[in-house]
Amino acid sequence: MEDKKKVIFSGIQPSGNLTLGNYLGAIKNWVKLQDEYDCYFCVVDLHAITVMQKPADLRKRTLEILAIYIASGIIPEKNTLFIQSHVPAHSECSWLLTCNGYMGELSRMTQYKEKSKKSGESIGAGLFTYPLLMASDILLYQTDVVPVGADQVQHLELARDLAERFNKTYSPTFTIPEAYLSKTGAKIMDLQNPEKKMSKSEDNPNSYILIMDEPDIIRKKISRAVTDSIGEVKYSDEQPGVKNLMTILSNIKGYTFEEIENKYKGQGYAQFKNDVAEAIVEELTPVQERVKALLENKSELEEIYKKGAEKANYVANKTLRKMQKKIGFIPR
């Protein structure tokens, strides 16, 4: 018999437009993992409302992210692609875990500390309990591996702790998930402040490239990207801006850093920046075209997320029923 594939779960919040960082750091890696694993890729809309979202924007972005997943090469027939709010088990499980989580462990979460600072007086309670919802996402599918960025490792540790606690309090119920920090998946930095991660929540649009940015916008943003006065294309910590552009080029084209250094030796930055911009345009244009086509004909997209939700509901409910039974609820 064929070995059962390990399970992957990952998701992106529809709380902003996706950037080149999301694309190179997350989605492109998922594409590589889809053959080897049984993958659940989710658009986590329940997470997005931890901060206020305009309803029309939320609707638009949720579908756009799903379309981006598919346009980037995630094959719907091979994976489970779905929208988080279409699977009620996430919300239900989250309550059960809320009653198993501790105030102390939640208040230690770095992301909560940072985001709550920005919220002033009225901090949404969801911002505080959010890691429990994330743990639910992961644990409901008996997930083995969770591809995430370094900023999410703390949340994943919490999911592991909760799973172990539940397994010990009741009886073995959950697979203990592991973080997968991709070695090849680049961390893409802010184009204006290359000490910071490129983020969709940055105010200055020159800081990031969106997956859906028009070619001329991409060219403009790269030409404005902050570099330095050294004038040499070199992969060095002293040149974070250049280093970041090299990372982007290397990630898209597969060149090594040495190859890039040799190619632009003694040339300054103009041609280099130009080539980086063209590489991004070449990479994103076909993705954008497929996204637009998918969004034009919503019925195909609808069929995909409905099918995904059906499968996800089945698997998630199985785990949820087990939890409910062990906790002492009367089976329905």
Binding site residues, ligand AMP, CB under 6 A: 12-13, 21-22, 25-26, 148-149, 187-188, 197-200
Alpha-carbon distance of 306 to 292, in angstroms, equals 20
Residues identified as active-site: 115, 197, 200
Where do we find the tokens 């329940």? 46
Find the part of the chain contacting ligand TRP (CB under 6 A) among 10-18, 180-188, 238-246, 316-324.
10-18
CA distance from start to end of the chain:
35
Alpha-carbon distance of 29 to 251, in angstroms, equals 11
Q: Phi, psi (5° rounding) for residue 236?
A: -145, 145
**Which option in ligand AMP, ligand TRP, none does residue 198 bind, with CB closer than 5 to 8 A by kind?**
ligand AMP
**Which option in ligand AMP, ligand TRP, none does residue 74 bind, with CB closer than 5 to 8 A by kind?**
none
* Site for ligand TRP contains 281 (CB under 6 A): no
**Contact characters 20-59, ligand TRP, x per CB under 6 A:** ------------------------x--x------------
- Applying CB under 6 A, which of residues 8, 10, 37, 68 lies at the interface with ligand TRP? 10
Q: Strand (E) positions, 125-231?
A: 145-147, 178-180
Size of the site for ligand TRP (CB under 6 A): 12
105 is written with which tokens? 């462990």
Alpha-carbon distance of 76 to 79, in angstroms, equals 5
Find the part of the chain contacting ligand TRP (CB under 6 A) among 6-14, 74-82, 247-255, 316-324.
6-14
Alpha-carbon distance of 121 to 132, in angstroms, equals 23
186 is written with which tokens? 């680049």
**Which option in ligand TRP, ligand AMP, none does residue 197 bind, with CB closer than 5 to 8 A by kind?**
ligand AMP
From residue 217, alpha-carbon distances to 28, 61, 127, 209, 220 in Å are: 22, 20, 34, 8, 5
Count, residues in the chain: 332
Whether 206 and 19 have beta carbons less than 8 Å apart is answered as no
Residue 147 or 241 having the CB closest to ligand TRP: 147
Q: Minimum distance between the CB of residue 289 and ligand TRP, rounded to whole angstroms?
A: 27
Q: Minimum distance between the CB of residue 47 and ligand AMP, rounded to whole angstroms?
A: 8
Find the part of the chain contacting ligand TRP (CB under 6 A) among 3-11, 57-65, 204-212, 237-245.
3-11
Find the part of the chain contacting ligand TRP (CB under 6 A) among 5-13, 112-120, 227-235, 286-294.
5-13
* Site for ligand TRP contains 19 (CB under 6 A): no
Q: Phi, psi (5° rounding) for residue 9?
A: -130, 135
Alpha-carbon distance of 28 to 6, in angstroms, equals 19
Contacts with ligand TRP by CB under 6 A lie at 9-11, 13, 44, 47, 134, 137-138, 146, 148, 152
